[in-house]
Amino acid sequence: MRPPSRLKAAVRTLPDVGEQPGADRVVLATVTGRKRERRGARPGQPVLAPVGGAVAQHLRLGGEGDVAAAEPLDRLVTRPPLQLYPNRSVGDSVGKLADQRERLRAEQGNSSSVRMFGPPGIRVPGGRKGSPPATWIVGSPSMPQAFTIEEDGDEFEKGWWPQWTRERFPSYEAFWVARIVPLTYRVKERRNVRFQTQADLGAAGFTEEDVAVAQLHYTILMHLGRAFELLDDARAFTVRSYTNRPFGRNEFFESFARLSGVSDLADELLARRSTPGAYDGWNEREGGNARRAWRDLNRDPLKPVRAYRNRLVHGRVVPETYVNLRDSQGRDLGAMLFYPRLGSVDSYLDWRRAFAANAIMPSPDFDEAALIALNAWESVVDYVEQTWQQHLLPNV
């Protein structure tokens, strides 16, 4: 995103971060003319104008239409650059934020959360024309530190954050800070996670649909977290080879029901944020219309996950095969549950074909149940992280 015309910026960075390619920066400026109107600012009103890409350092206002170099209003923390992850190897890049936060904590000599966004009272415009109102990034002067999942999430958010969310779905926190926290009483009473009344939210410029989006966002985490627990109990993340594990038919069905639900919820949320006000926030049929509209205009990589769930629930019984597992000494270790892989399930509507294919040893079209579910979970998590970065975070 280019800075507004006639807006000059001198951006300073901290030595330990340096000129990181793609690092996010935000400077405080007074924007005039049409550019100001597009950014939703009144004449003379300070706004945060993005320079070089997205979010990070704040400078004091220099002059009308200009930004002069000045002492930073806050300590610098950069996110990883907005990036689509083509595979599951995202730990190194998405972990940078946590590492930088820890470095700043050490410098400041305390164990509390490092404040990540600008001074209290600064508002960030909602984004392109027609987008929802601006959101309060930081609460009030009585709450000088930024909200984080680690410090301010509920019991599920806090519990899953170090287990998988921080590495696999870090954009959950970024969207949560910008679009969820301001809807709750946290901005007045930090430990109060309940949503404010619509009267309070309306006075701050929020709509009923904003609350609906927040509920969709949280439900996505709940489904992914439960599927994670089922897979983690089965040691699917640590043992990716065939083994006897506590992951049977019930766990398999529940995993796909939840992952299919995440696909629907994510696409509905993306549609609602891209066209705010187009769909009734409290109408499930409207939610279905939103999902279909999003998929008509965007790629739909999770269609195989939803199709597999539909076969499990609506079609005839999906054939399953139990394979006896023995150790190197030939001792019986139990049976493993095998199902058709995602792309092969419709090839085995005829059960006789499935049994014949696995008569001697498992067919390549079949795989262990836990590993099929693990593959689906990773595909779904990658999808939400990618689409949050591409479509949601640039416009929070």
> Is residue 11 domain-resident?
yes
Averaged pLDDT of the chain: 73
> How large is the average pLDDT for residues 315-324?
90
DSSP code for 209: H
In 3-state terms, what secondary structure has residue 249?
helix
Parent domain of 16? 1-78
Alpha helices in 188-283 (DSSP H): 198-203, 208-233, 249-274
In a domain, 348, yes or no: no
Number of other CB atoms surrounding residue 221 within 10 Å: 24
Q: How confident is the model at residue 251 (pLDDT cuts 50, 70, 90)?
A: very high
Strand, helix or coil for residue 46: strand
Residue 45 belongs to a domain:
yes
Q: Which two tokens stand for residue 35?
A: 């550019």
Q: Has residue 23 been placed in a domain?
A: yes
pLDDT bin (cut points 50, 70, 90) of residue 334 is confident
Write down how long the chain is. Answer: 396
H-state helical runs in 237-339: 249-274, 284-297, 303-313
**pLDDT band at residue 102, thresholds of 50, 70 and 90?**
low
pLDDT classification of 106: cutoffs 50, 70, 90? low
Inter-CA distances, 296 with 102, 118, 260, 270, 291, Å: 42, 38, 18, 13, 9
Reduce the secondary structure of 47-78 to three states and give it as a string.
EEEECCCCCCCCECCCEECECCCCCECCCCCC
Give the pLDDT confidence score for residue 199 in this predicted structure.
95
Residues 6+ positions from 55 with CB-CB distance below 8 Å: 24, 25, 26, 79, 117
The answer to whether residue 68 sits within a structural domain is: yes
pLDDT (average), residues 197-205: 95
205-238 confidence digits (pLDDT tens): 999 999 999 999 999 999 999 999 999 999 999 9
Q: Is residue 30 part of a domain?
A: yes
What integer pLDDT is reported at residue 330 of this predicted model?
82
Question: Cα 195–197–201 angle (5° rounding)?
Answer: 90
43 or 65: which leads in pLDDT:
43
CA distances from 331 to 129, 248, 298, 325, 328 (A): 67, 22, 51, 8, 7
Query: Do the Cβ atoms of 177 and 189 come closer than 8 Å?
Result: no
Kindly state whether residue 69 falls inside one of the protein's structural domains: yes
Contacts of residue 216, Cβ cutoff 8 Å, sequence gap at least 6: 265, 268, 269, 272
Domain count, the chain: 1
Q: What is the pLDDT of residue 53?
A: 32
* pLDDT computed for residue 56 by the predictor: 30
Q: Is residue 294 situated within a structural domain?
A: no
Q: What percent of the chain has pLDDT over 90?
A: 55
